[in-house]
Amino acid sequence: GIQVEQSPPDLILQEGANSTLRCNFSDSVNNLQWFHQNPWGQLINLFYIPSGTKQNGRLSATTVATERYSLLYISSSQTTDSGVYFCAGGNTGNQFYFGTGTSLTVIP
Amino acid sequence: ETGVTQTPRHLVMGMTNKKSLKCEQHLGHNAMYWYKQSAKKPLELMFVYSLEERVENNSVPSRFSPECPNSSHLFLHLHTLQPEDSALYLCASSPGVRTGELFFGEGSRLTVL
């Protein structure tokens, strides 16, 4: 299977700070997503981004498929951004594999 | 309102009980999945269904029994579970198997006493 490494595992930010989360894959992927897991357990879709760059408000993501990594940027963080961020990737021969997540805490 | 709904949201059961988790997707997708999330572990894929046919079963114990009566509904029947089966069970759907974006339900938190 595909190994997915996320960093950092834990992150504490002051409200208003910026952060970058990283996801490395051991193999090429052509499906890649970022999720935010809310305190109630639901995985919320942030980006579907097999390649390139996308932006949605204060969040943006970049995937460099040839180098097998993806980055999630959070700008001007808010307390509501707290939670666990997961990346997941797969390809036509493999299921989606998930990383162990980055646990983000934003303090006021 | 989410495109994938799961019931119940919370379930407590004894080891001798039989219960079921239900998932329904309103997205017109052809593939549905059950994932298990235990503390401090990555999400683990349990079962994959494509157009009501099981296409993947990742060495899941037989005490978990999936059922997919149609492309919109997916069940996970539970019987004779163990305390270590306590976890968050997540249902997801996608346009096709291993293609397109995954959408998750809110999860069913299971506690086995």
Asked if B5 and B23 count as a contact pair (C-beta separation under 8 A), the reply is yes
Q: Please give the Cα distance from A80 to A63 (Å, whole number).
A: 25
Pick B101's closest partner by Cβ from A45, A92, A100.
A45
* B20 band by pLDDT with thresholds 50, 70 and 90: very high
- Determine what percent of chain B is predicted with pLDDT higher than 70: 98
Confidence band (pLDDT; 50, 70, 90) for A94? low
- Candidates A31, A45, A95; nearest CB to B103: A45
pLDDT at position A70, please?
98
Nearest 5°: the CA angle B28, A4, A43 is 40
* Tokens 């006021």, residue located: A108
Strands (E) in A3-58, as ranges, are 4-7, 10-14, 19-25, 31-37, 43-48, 52-56
> Smallest Cβ distance to A40: which of B41, B92, B106?
B106
Please answer yes or no on whether B41 and A97 come within 8 Å at the CB atom.
Answer: no
pLDDT reported for residue B72: 94
Distance of CA B71 to the CA centre of its chain: 14
Instruction: Tell me which residue has tokens 């700008």.
Output: A75
- Closest Cβ opposite residue B104 in set A43, A48, A95: A43
pLDDT (0 to 100) of residue B39: 84
More confident residue, A38 or A85: A85
Question: Has residue B1 got a pLDDT over 90?
Answer: no
Tell me how long chain A is.
108
Can you tell me the mean pLDDT for B15-28?
94
Largest CA distance in chain B: 39
Give pLDDT tens digits for B53-105: 777 777 899 999 999 999 999 999 999 999 999 999 999 999 988 778 999 99
**pLDDT at position B50, please?**
87
Q: Once rounded to an integer, what is the mean pLDDT over residues A50-60?
A: 97
**Which residues in chain A are contacts of B36 at CB distance < 8 A?**
none
Interchain contact, A43 vs B48, CB within 8 Å: no
A31·B37 Cβ contact <8 A: no
Per the CB < 8 Å rule, is B42 touching A35?
no
b/e code B46-58 from CB counts within 10 Å (16+ = b): bbbbbeeeeebee
B66: tokens are 């999936």
φ, ψ dihedrals at A76, nearest 5°: 45, 60
Interface of A with B in 30-89 (CB under 8 A): 31, 33, 35, 40-43, 45, 48, 86, 88
pLDDT for the residue A39: 84
- The whole-angstrom separation of Cα A15 and Cα B15 is 45
pLDDT for B59 = 83
